[in-house]
Amino acid sequence: MFERYTERARRVLFFARYEASQLGSPSIGPEHLLLGILHEGGGLAARICRHAGLDFLLVHLEVARAFEDRPKISTSVEMPLSALSKSALKQAEAEADGLKHAHIGTEHLLLALLHEPESLAGGILTRGGLRLNPARAEVRSLYGTPSAGAPGAAAPQPAPTQEAHIVLVQVTIRPEMQEAFERALLHNARESVRLDRGCLRFDVSQDKDDPAKWVLYEVYDSPAAHADHRQSRHFLAYDAVATTAVVEKVVSKCAARHVT
């Protein structure tokens, strides 16, 4: 289902799941997809949102307040997409097809959310001044995509792709080991990108509301590269600390294809 998704779009889905988990939601809704777009921060969709004055922290607060009276559930390893989110992903594919794009990027996810202005996510976007048709026109102009049906319009050639092995790790650590864990984790991340052949990216983030919670987002060019990383000196040094520091861990892996 996700073979056309760019790496940034996949990151949006990872972060959407993380945000839904942090908010105690039973499923990943469109509002979490919007938070994922803003959390990822580097895609075309996030740029459009920033131009509209949408701030991640303010949107996060609005989403949290909207659901504060609902019972929270514990983190689920297999958190499902809600029916509205499944519909949004289908709409994102339709938007990409309509724009004659070979890939599905963060911008297509944003356009999909604008199809439902009555939803929480759509309402936030609408109040920020975003509308479906102008946003689609902006995406089209940035890509230089010809209007549908234009004489002589040709579909762009598919972008080159490469295999990627993505690992998302969510951990909760003992508060008293915060300093030691942070030092070991940051050293591991820096050395992985600098030394590990096949490590394409290693991002870490700390929960602003609960500093004991961390997210590790790792991208390798193959599962074998990830396995080699786990034998490196810097990983083993990190793991020695994490073995004691970590009290809860959730790992998600995705063997994926992304647009370069």
Q: What is the CATH number of the domain that holds 67?
A: 1.10.1780.10
Higher pLDDT, 197 or 72: 197
Same domain, 66 and 114: yes
Residue 156 lies in a domain: no
The residue whose two tokens read 């074998």 is 224
Q: Tell me, what CATH number does 234's domain have?
A: 3.30.70.100
Torsion of CA 107, 111, 113, 118, to 10 degrees: 150
In a shared domain, residues 28 and 86: yes
Which is higher by pLDDT, 218 or 75? 218
Same domain, 185 and 128: no
Task: Identify whether 212 is part of a domain.
Answer: yes
Give yes or no: residues 79 and 194 share one domain.
no
Q: Cα-atom radius of gyration of the chain, to the nearest Å?
A: 19
> Is 149 among the domain residues?
no
Closest CA to 95 of 136, 124, 129: 136
- Hey, how many other C-beta atoms are within 10 angstroms of the C-beta on 108? 29
What would the pLDDT profile of 167-179 be if each residue is shown by its tens digit? 999 999 999 999 9
Same domain, yes or no: 137 and 169: no
How high is the pLDDT of residue 75? 55
- The verdict on 15 and 134 lying in the same domain is yes
Query: Rounded CA gap, 158 and 166, in Å?
Result: 22
Tell me the C-alpha distance between 33 and 16, whole Å: 5
Shared domain for 137 and 167, answered yes or no, is: no
Domain count, the chain: 2
Residues 89-143 have pLDDT tens digits of: 999 999 999 999 999 999 999 999 999 988 999 999 999 899 999 999 988 888 7
Residues 88, 16 share a domain: yes
Contacts of 36 (CB under 8 A, 6+ apart): 11, 12, 13, 14, 15, 16, 17, 18, 19
Q: How confident is the model at residue 163 (pLDDT cuts 50, 70, 90)?
A: low
Do 138 and 198 lie in one domain? The reply is: no
Sheet containing strand 246-259, edge to edge, reads: 199-206, 213-220, 161-173, 246-259
Q: What is the pTM of this model?
A: 0.59
Q: Answer whether residue 196 shows pLDDT above 60.
A: yes
What domain range includes position 24?
7-143
- Final residue of a domain: which of 82, 108, 143? 143
